[in-house]
Amino acid sequence: MLQKGTKVYSIFHNKCPKCQNGDFFINHSAFNFKNVLKIHDHCPSCHFKFMIEPSFFYGAMYVTYGLTVIAAVILFLIGYLIGLTFVENLIFMSIALAVLSPLSLRLSRLIYINMFVDFEKSKPTNR
C-alpha cells in the first residue's frame, strides 16, 4: 500500500505526485511553524510545477475540513472512552486539534494535489 507509484506513498512521504522522487514541502517537519506550508515552486527532481494554477491550494481547505471532522470524531470517542465529561472532552478536542492542525494542513495539500496529478513512471518534463 505504501509502495512507490501509489498516491498514498506520495501523501505520507512528502513526495512529488508526478515522479515521487522530489520533496513536496521544503521542510520535512510539520511542526516547524515558520515554514509549515512552504512548498518548492517546482519539483527538485522532475521540475513539475506544484502551483498548477494561481490559488490552486485554496481547494485544499475542503480537504482540511474533512480531515478535521474525522479527527474531531475520533478524538471525541477517545475522550468519551477514557471517561472525560462533555466540557473536558471539548477542551481536550480543541487542544488536540490545534496541535494537529499543521499536520492536517500539510496532509490536505498533498491529498489535494494527488487528486489532480497522477504518477508517471518515466521522467516527466512538465514545466
Shortest distance, CB of residue 53 to Zn ion, whole angstroms?
18
Residue 46 touching Zn ion (CB under 5 A)? yes
Output the nine-digit C-alpha cell for 16. 512529488
Shortest distance, CB of residue 125 to Zn ion, whole angstroms?
10
Stretch that binds Zn ion, among 18-26, 85-93, 95-103, 104-112 (CB under 5 A): 18-26
What whole-number distance in Å separates Cα of residue 12 and Cα of residue 114? 11
B/e letters for 55-74, b = 16+ CB within 10 Å, e = fewer, are eebeebeebbeebbeebbee
| Angle in degrees, 0-180, between the axes of helices 86-116 and 60-81, rounded to the nearest 10 | 150
Stretch that binds Zn ion, among 47-55, 62-70, 90-98, 115-123 (CB under 5 A): 47-55
**Interface with Zn ion (CB under 5 A):** 16, 18-19, 22, 43, 45-46, 48
